[in-house]
Amino acid sequence: AFFDVAHDANRPFLVTAGPMEVRAVGTRFDVRHDGPGASVVLAQGQVRVRGDAPNAAWTLSPGQGLVLQPGGKAHPERVDVASLTGWTNNVITFQDVKLIDAVAEMNRYARSKITLAPGVPSQAKMNGLFSPGEQREFVDAAVASFNLEAVHKPDGGVELRPRSGA
């Protein structure tokens, strides 16, 4: 979720996601909650993040992000805000992302899912700009990049397989 919050000292804006609580102080930020962990990316302003472990607290500046697992240690890092929040402008950016992770991200935005058959190089790195929910452009890029074939399934999904005879 992407938040654009006006500053109001009397009414703090709090977001809880997995092991973190984010307190906005007049800001624009993105929070993602996948599985037990969560992440925050700060586009503008300032946020204070609290984890579920003792003394787990950080203040982020614009251009920083934080990934936190339950009870885990973390530290703010410089991130590519435009890439990580591009989905708000209908763009998903992959830069050296494992194929398996890129498929999972594309599947978040579509009813018809992409699956990987055994033998597909799931750890190979993917690059590109794609539109959320536009599986075809992603499938075409993966087929061309990794010498795969796309097999359409009865449920509307697509399975990526190693090309026959490859």
Query: pLDDT tens, position by position, for the chain (166 residues)?
Result: 998 888 787 888 899 999 999 988 778 999 999 888 899 999 999 999 988 888 888 999 999 999 998 887 888 999 999 888 988 899 999 999 999 999 999 999 999 999 999 999 999 999 999 999 889 999 999 999 999 999 999 999 999 999 986 5
One-letter identity of residue 58: W
Supply φ then ψ for residue 102, to 5 degrees: -65, -40
Burial status of residue 115 (CB atoms within 10 A of its CB: 0-12, 13-18, 19 or more):
middle
**In DSSP terms, which residues pair with 42 in a beta bridge?**
29
114 vs 120: CA distance, rounded Å: 12
Rounded to two decimals, what is the model's pTM?
Answer: 0.77
64 vs 152: CA distance, rounded Å: 40
